[in-house]
């Protein structure tokens, strides 16, 4: 793909799953929560094994031409907080994201992060310690994009923001007004890209998706 890209186009790439996500698949979510208390050393060894393999992946990935951003997804939260205690995320997960961000930055490439849920408790760590360049996945219930713009917009890029539930269910004119309001408030001073708050599921009406695209293009005068 890299060899056949049109001039001026780049690739955004990442591993197919984040460290915490893979850790919960190996140990199960319940198993991870139990092992954090019963056998922390085992959890750390498994996390570090995953992290090291992913580090090798990113080093190889960045040998490819035309990579313009690393953009992993690693869901660390749900609607009311982080999936495991913030201090455990800081010890087990964030040091590896910091390494991946360093690998990207050494190549002059930005490091974005997709992470669902309410992760306010670790946002300072993500900005100051990991040094992410942008954050994706915003939901009106747990992490509304407009509030997030006020909190973090001077530090990092905010990506997405159109709540999936509203994208699925709002009437067309209400949806347009909702999207325009997000663009008007979040595009101030840049560091913002309009889009869906999460992956587009198959139940999103096609016309609603096109409305989101149309409002973005209208804002650019296209």
Rounded to whole angstroms, the maximal C-alpha distance in the chain is 58
- Tell how strand 110-114 and strand 67-70 pair up: parallel
Instruction: Tell me: do 16 and 72 sit in the same domain.
Output: yes
Residue 222 has a pLDDT of: 64
Distances (CA, A) of 64 to 47, 70, 214: 26, 12, 33
- Tell how strand 81-82 and strand 77-78 pair up: antiparallel
Residue 221 has a pLDDT of: 76
Distances (CA, A) of 153 to 37, 43, 136: 36, 34, 12
The reply to whether 132 falls in a domain is no
Residues 6+ apart with CB under 8 A from 129: 94, 98
pLDDT at position 50 over 70: yes
The pLDDT tens digits for 6-16 are 999 999 999 98
Residue 161 has a pLDDT of: 94
Q: What is the mean pLDDT of residues 61-77?
A: 96
pLDDT at position 83 over 80: yes
pLDDT at position 90 over 80: yes
Out of 35-39, 65-69, 139-143, 218-222, least confident range = 218-222
Residue 16 has a pLDDT of: 86
Instruction: Tell me: do 142 and 108 sit in the same domain.
Output: no
For residue 199, with 0-12 CB atoms within 10 Å meaning exposed, 13-18 middle and 19 or more buried, which class applies? exposed
Q: What is the mean pLDDT of residues 178-202?
A: 94
The reply to whether 40 falls in a domain is yes
Q: What is the mean pLDDT of residues 154-173?
A: 97
* Structural domain harbouring 168: 137-217
Helices 29-38, 40-61: axis angle to 10 degrees equals 120
Q: How many domains does the chain have?
A: 2
Instruction: Tell me: do 158 and 188 sit in the same domain.
Output: yes
Instruction: Tell me: do 101 and 152 sit in the same domain.
Output: no
Report yes or no: 18 and 74 within 8 Å, Cβ to Cβ. yes
pLDDT at position 188 over 80: yes
Q: What is the mean pLDDT of residues 167-173?
A: 98
């Amino acid at each position: 793909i890299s060899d056949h890209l049109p001039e001026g186009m780049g690739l955004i790439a990442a591993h197919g799953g984040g460290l915490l996500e893979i850790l919960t698949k190996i140990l199960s979510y319940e198993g991870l929560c139990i092992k954090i208390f019963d056998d922390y050393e085992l959890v750390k060894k498994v996390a570090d094994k995953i992290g090291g393999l992913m580090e090798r992946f990113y080093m190889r990935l960045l040998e490819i031409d035309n990579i313009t951003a690393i953009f992993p997804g690693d869901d660390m939260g749900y609607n009311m907080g982080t999936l495991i205690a913030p201090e455990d995320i800081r010890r087990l997960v964030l040091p590896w994201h910091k390494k991946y961000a360093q690998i990207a930055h050494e190549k002059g490439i930005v490091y974005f992060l997709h992470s669902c849920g309410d992760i306010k408790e670790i946002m300072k760590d993500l900005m100051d310690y990991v040094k992410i360049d942008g954050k994706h996945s915003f939901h009106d219930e747990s992490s509304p994009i407009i509030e997030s713009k006020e909190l973090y917009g001077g530090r990092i890029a905010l990506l997405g923001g159109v709540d999936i539930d509203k994208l699925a269910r709002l009437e067309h004119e209400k949806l347009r007004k909702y999207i325009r309001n997000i663009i008007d408030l979040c595009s101030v001073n840049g560091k913002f890209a309009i889009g869906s708050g999460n992956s587009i599921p198959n139940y999103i009406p096609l016309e609603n998706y096109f409305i989101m695209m149309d409002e973005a293009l209208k804002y650019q005068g296209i």
